[in-house]
Structures are given as structure tokens and as C-alpha cells.
Structure 1
Amino acid sequence: MNGVTGRMGHRQHLLRSVLAIRDDGGVPLPGGDRLVPVPILVGRDTAKVSALAARHGAEWTTDLDTALSDPTASVYFDAQITSVREKSVLAAIAAGKHVYAEKPTADTLDGALALARAAAAAGVRSGVVHDKLFLPGLRKLERLLRGGFFGRVLSVRGDFGYWVFEGDWQPAQRPSWNYKAEEGGGIVVDMFAHWSYVLGELFGSVEAVTAKAVTHIPRRWDERGDPYDATADDAAYAIFELAGGVVAHFASSWCTRVDRDELLRVQVDGTHGSAVAGLTGCRVQHRSTTPKPTWDPDVPSTDRFRDQWAEVPDNGPAVNAFRAQWELFLRQVHMGEDHPYDFLAGARGVQLARLGLESSARGARVPVPELVL
């Protein structure tokens, strides 16, 4: 596990996924056996990685080649910053390891496709983090889609983001490299990869994108308190045209204050019903219960619109989204099955981000061609 001293790698992948799986006795397998992950932590900072390993009873090293030469380790995981991921993943593939990686998988589309081709040529299985698909709220959306609740889906509206402090008078909640294009930062690179698989898996593949990427806050302060110029976009506003005629509009921003139930809100409107999903919850309104509001700007509205929606039940225990995908990937590697969200899927996310930036730079609608290996 490389890069787990960072925020996301530490909290979601190490603590809440791999160690939680280990401490709960492993991943259940057909026949009653359990697959127990044994992590080897890899990091550049000796003090950080050794302390983390000691705290959780894991092996560690600062030398990736040493970890990759361990014959007992069959899976390599990468949560490093994007700019160094491609080289490390290629080394893992060359060492014969199955690879699970954070997104984006590479800085460029050519690089992302090179990883997919290398994994296919080496006969190793690949997986890319698609955590949003495993969120309880989006799982409920998927259930509604399978059940035909919406009728014909017309549109999808996504609103994601929160205020990330500049770092001068309050510490920033995200690392400074996120705001430096030269280090792989930017909300388009970060979030369009998510929207690619969320839209593609639930509603239809993206056929065209029209986007506007902006840097609202041009000056920020880093972890040492030093000011720097933000060279990457911190907000993006996009229209995605999907196969089948569905239109999706997503606003992604690290410069917005939250006035909604959760940091992510997705509304789906269809001919027979609508739904609003967040990270955990999902509310619906069927056409048979849809009220008939009237527009009168001169009279205060007495309608309590949010009260007119019904909550979708959980119908089962909620599982951490990252852990759910980890369990799926480990089980499939053990059983010799391909993971559905592989490096080619990861390349689609890189492609959409790059085309979104192209659309913003040109001020134009950009088609999204189909990717093949």
C-alpha cells in the first residue's frame, strides 16, 4: 500500500478499508473461507510510515522495489499524488502484481491507456477506485433505476463541493498541490473522473461535454504558511450529454458554502418520478404524488416542498463505500475474475477531465470519443 500516509489513503483505504477488513476477520469467500489482507506500507517519509506501521502492526519500507519483490504480496495499491502514480504502477505491473489504484490513474490520457495496455499484456487484474458507486445514497438511486421508478430519465443534476479555506487565517482542508496544475491539481482532474463513472454506470456514457473551469481564489497558503499562486481550477460547471438523450449538469466547487443535506446532491428527473440522493440518503417523488405548484412572485409561498418527498428505505446495513469496493476487488483477484472498474474505466475518467479542460479553454462543446485498447 503506497501513499497511505496521505489523508485519503490513510483514512479511507488503510483505516476504514484494509485494516477494518483484517480486524473483522477478512473477506468472506464462497465455501466459508475468509481472505485476510496483510498490508505492507510504503512511503517516502521514514518517520511517518514507520510510526503508522507500528501503530497498526504492519510491515513497512521506504523502498518500493523491496515491497514489489515480496512474493507473498500479490496486490499493489497506489494512493500517491497523480504525478508519480504512473511510474509506480508500471513497476508493480512489471513485478507481476495485480493493481488497485486511486484516480486519476495518470496525468495524461496516453499515460492512462498505457497502464491499461500494460496490465492487459501482463495478465494482471486492475481496479480503479469508483467509491461514489458504492455510496448508500447512489446505491438507492441504482435500485430505483433497476425497478423502473423513473420511467424515461430526462436529466441529472449534480451539486458537489464545500468551502476550502485559503490557508492564511484558517488551515486549508485540502493539500496545497490540489491547487497547482503543475503538480496534477485541479477540481476538473479530481471530480470529472468521478462524474465519468457515475454517469456512465447509472445513466449512459458521456458523448459530449461543455465545461467552464475557473480559479475563483487565485492566492492560497500552503502547509508551511507560505503564500502561493493557485494555478489550477477550483470550480467547474459542466453539461454532459449522455447516450440516450439524457442531459446532466454538474457543478463542482471548492469555493461554495453548503446549503444542502450533504456535500454531494444528485437529482434525477424522469417522466414517472424524481429522486434526490446524497452520500447516504435518497428521497423520491412519484408522478402520482407530485403537487401542482403555481408561480406567483407577489405572494409568499406556503408550500413546504421538501416535505412532499418520501425517504427511500435502507433495506440493509450501510457499508463504507471504499471498503465495499476493496472487498469486491480482493475477492475477484482471489477468484481469478476481472474487476468491472479497471484501468480502461480509469482512462475514461482521465479522458473526460482532459476534454473538459479543452472545452473550457476553447469555449466549445467537445465530443467524447469511445476509448478502446
Structure 2
Amino acid sequence: MGTPESFLRVGVIGCGNIVEQYLRTLPHLSRVRLVAAADLDPARAEQVAARVPGARALTVDELIADPDVDLVLNLTIPAAHHDIALRAIAAGKHVYGEKPLADTVEHAVDVLAAAKAAGVTVGAAPDTVLGPGIQTARRAVDDGLIGRPISATATMATAGHERWHPNPDFYYQPGGGPLLDMGPYYVTALVSLLGPVTSVVGAASRLRDERVIGSGARAGERIPVAVDTHVTGVLVHASGALSTITMSFDTVASAASRIEIHGESGSLIVPDPNQFDGETRLKVLGDEEWRVLEQFAGYVGAERGIGLEDLAMEGASLRASGALAFHVLEVMESLLESAHSGRAIAIESTCERPAPVPLTRIA
């Protein structure tokens, strides 16, 4: 899609907290340029545009219609992902969005169908799996360092984002919760490591119906909770491996908030999938100690937004693809469906394991 002589012109819609992480990355990407910013709060768009030479602050309508924007970077809240993506696609633009791909599988079907009809590409976070942390673990699995993979555990346990986020309402509305918010990092990593999922069994609970904002101008304000805040379950991979997953906003702390992969002859401790870096540790049957693997795969120095560079280079075959994000969303939605129905749910979609990332240093 991009060449060394050209670059992908990006317009960002949604200039909230997460945009800061993208602004740290975009100046270092050779095939991507941020050219416009829009937000329902014009002042926030102006603040972003002022920090990027040549970027313009626009309204959402203006950005979507702008012929100088090739791709819309959709950083809106989950409930708006579907609408913004469809509008951008209708304007002939590629879309790369924050996770999840949409707030429901039904909405995600609309997005991918529209993109296919329009001949544009859809990509989606998380792109943390492209960093050397997860990619080194992926290479270890592919190279047979643990033998045939048998099982995995994936745990994320916190007390809830309202303790630090000044406007946490969307975390506790449909499209949010620990599974839809943090689950994409863990499920995407599990699919990258072990392949697609064929069925799930889940259980879920909700500790309380209100949360108290802990920081910012709204500190002390109570907000309603409309989602499950503790979700656990088992993913059955097409490879035969079984992954046990726990995502919780109801836990004070956990020493095991990580992924572990277990094979016939060894085990891996995988770095935090919400980060690009970190140690991958290996213990082979008979070893007394864990050893840290040298990083030998992934985008070194990457931060959020590296998926845009991958999209510019790879186009429709990008690694942080809409197809992968759709499969991950269906897995998560099916876990919640299983939790409330009490039965196993078959996963209808599938996807290719994303191609591994060779060791590549970001300029």
C-alpha cells in the first residue's frame, strides 16, 4: 500500500486519552503521516493538530470527506467504532481502529462487508502483539522449543479503571467491561501463539452495580455498571490446545496477570500482551531454573500505532487485520453468551495466524 517514496495520510477521529500513545509513535513511522485531527470537542482536536507539523483540526464530517485523508484512525469510544468506520468506508477511506473492532459482532459484520464492497482495508488494534515480547514467544512456539502446545492460561486482574481514568463511564457500558476492554490483548496474543478458536465455555459475574470515579474533575461521582466485571472461560483452539482465560475488574491485585503457554516438553512465561516489550522466559522439562530468551523477533522500539505502518507496508495482508479482530471479537462475545446461557458456543469465524514479524528495528 505504501512505498519508500509515498506515505499513508492519516486523519485521527477521537482525541481522548489514548491519542497520546499514538502521538509518540507516528513521528517515527516512515510510511505514515498524521495530517488531520477531529473530536466532538474541537479544542482537543486543535491541541493534537498543534503538536504535529502540517496537521489540521477539522470537524468529524470535514475529516471524513477530506480528499487528503487516506485512512481514518478511529480512536472513539467502542460504541462509536461502528458508525465512524462505516462513514469512513463510505467515503472510500481505509480504517484502522482501536479495539474492539466494534461493540458487537453484528456491527463488525457490517464494517467488514462494507470494506469488502468498497475495496478498502480495515485494520484494528491491538498491535502490541507485533512487538518483540509476544513475537519472541511466538517464535519459540514455532521453533518447537516447548514441543507440541497443549494449554495456556491468560489472566488480567485489576480493581477497575475508574480508579485512574477521569471519564471511565464507557468501560462499564456495552462494548466495555474487562473482557471487551482488556480481553483483545490477551485473546489476540493467544490466537497469534496457538491459532484460531473453534469453541468456548464461559462464566461471568458482576460485583456491584455502581463504581466511584477516583481521579480528575469528577472524582467521587458514582457511575452505573451495565456489564459483567469478572469473566472466565476456556477457549478450544483448532490446534487442540486449550486456553483458560480470566479477565476481571473485581480483583485487588494478582501476581499472575500474564500469559503462560505449556507444551509437551516445556513452558513459556509470555510478557504482558498490553505492552510491546518484556521478557519471555522458558523452562524445558528437566531444567531447574527459568531462562530468559534473547529477543529474536518483532518490531523493536514499537509503540501503539505500529499497526498503521504494517498496514501501509502490507495492505490487505496486514497482521493487525480486520479478520483477526473480528475473530477475537466473536470469541469474546461468545464467552459472554456462554456465561449467560450455560452452554458451550461454537465459533463460526476463523482466521489465519498472522505472519510472524522478523526482528525489525523502528527508526
Give the TM-score normalised by structure 1.
0.81
Greater mean alpha carbon deviation, residues 338-347 or residues 270-279 = 338-347
Aligned to 1:136: 132
What SS does structure 1 have at the residue aligned with 2:258? strand
Q: CA deviation at 1:230?
A: 1.4
2:210 to 200, 207, 219: 219
Cα separation, 2, equivalents of 1:313 and 1:12: 26
Cα separation, 2, equivalents of 1:95 and 1:254: 38
2:308 to 326, 330, 333: 326
Cα separation, 2, equivalents of 1:191 and 1:212: 17
Q: For the Cα contact (< 8 Å) 2:205–2:229, is it kept in 1?
A: yes
Q: CA deviation at 1:272?
A: 1.3
Structure with bigger gyration radius: 1
Cα separation, 2, equivalents of 1:198 and 1:131: 10
Q: For the Cα contact (< 8 Å) 2:157–2:254, is it kept in 1?
A: no
What SS does structure 2 have at the residue aligned with 1:163? coil
% of aligned pairs identical? 24
Aligned to 1:206: 197
Q: For the Cα contact (< 8 Å) 2:235–2:244, is it kept in 1?
A: yes
Matched, 1:360 2:358: no
The alpha-carbon distance between structure 1 residues 63 and 329, as it changes in their structure 2 partners (threshold 3 A), is same
What SS does structure 1 have at the residue aligned with 2:304? helix
Matched, 1:343 2:322: yes
Aligned to 2:20: 11
Q: For the Cα contact (< 8 Å) 1:2–1:78, is it kept in 2?
A: yes
- Deviations along 1:147-189, one digit per CA (max 9) or x if unpaired, are 111111111011123233655xxx54772220123xx322222
Q: CA deviation at 1:70?
A: 2.2
The alpha-carbon distance between structure 1 residues 340 and 309, as it changes in their structure 2 partners (threshold 3 A), is closer
- Deviations along 1:269-318, one digit per CA (max 9) or x if unpaired, are 111111101131111111142x5xxxxxxxxxxxxxxxx21111124783
The alpha-carbon distance between structure 1 residues 173 and 260, as it changes in their structure 2 partners (threshold 3 A), is farther
Q: For the Cα contact (< 8 Å) 2:162–2:168, is it kept in 1?
A: no
What SS does structure 2 have at the residue aligned with 1:89? helix
2:249 to 241, 254, 260: 254
Give structure 1 stretches of 5+ with no counterpart.
28-34, 292-307
Aligned to 2:152: 156
Aligned to 1:239: 234
The alpha-carbon distance between structure 1 residues 278 and 173, as it changes in their structure 2 partners (threshold 3 A), is farther
> How many aligned positions are there?
331
Q: For the Cα contact (< 8 Å) 1:41–1:58, is it kept in 2?
A: no
Cα separation, 1, equivalents of 2:157 and 2:12: 27
Cα separation, 2, equivalents of 1:152 and 1:40: 48
Cα separation, 1, equivalents of 2:162 and 2:77: 20
Q: For the Cα contact (< 8 Å) 1:125–1:338, is it kept in 2?
A: no
Greater mean alpha carbon deviation, residues 215-224 or residues 46-55 = 215-224
Give structure 2 stretches of 5+ with no counterpart.
1-10, 273-277, 352-363
What SS does structure 2 have at the residue aligned with 1:151? coil
- Deviations along 1:64-110, one digit per CA (max 9) or x if unpaired, are 22112222221111010111121111111111111111122222212
Matched, 1:124 2:124: no
The alpha-carbon distance between structure 1 residues 180 and 312, as it changes in their structure 2 partners (threshold 3 A), is same
1:281 to 257, 279, 282: 279
Q: CA deviation at 1:211?
A: 1.2
Aligned to 1:176: 169
Q: CA deviation at 1:217?
A: 3.7
Cα separation, 1, equivalents of 2:168 and 2:54: 26
Cα separation, 2, equivalents of 1:95 and 1:161: 40
Q: For the Cα contact (< 8 Å) 1:2–1:77, is it kept in 2?
A: yes
1:341 maps to a residue whose letter is: A
1:282 maps to a residue whose letter is: T
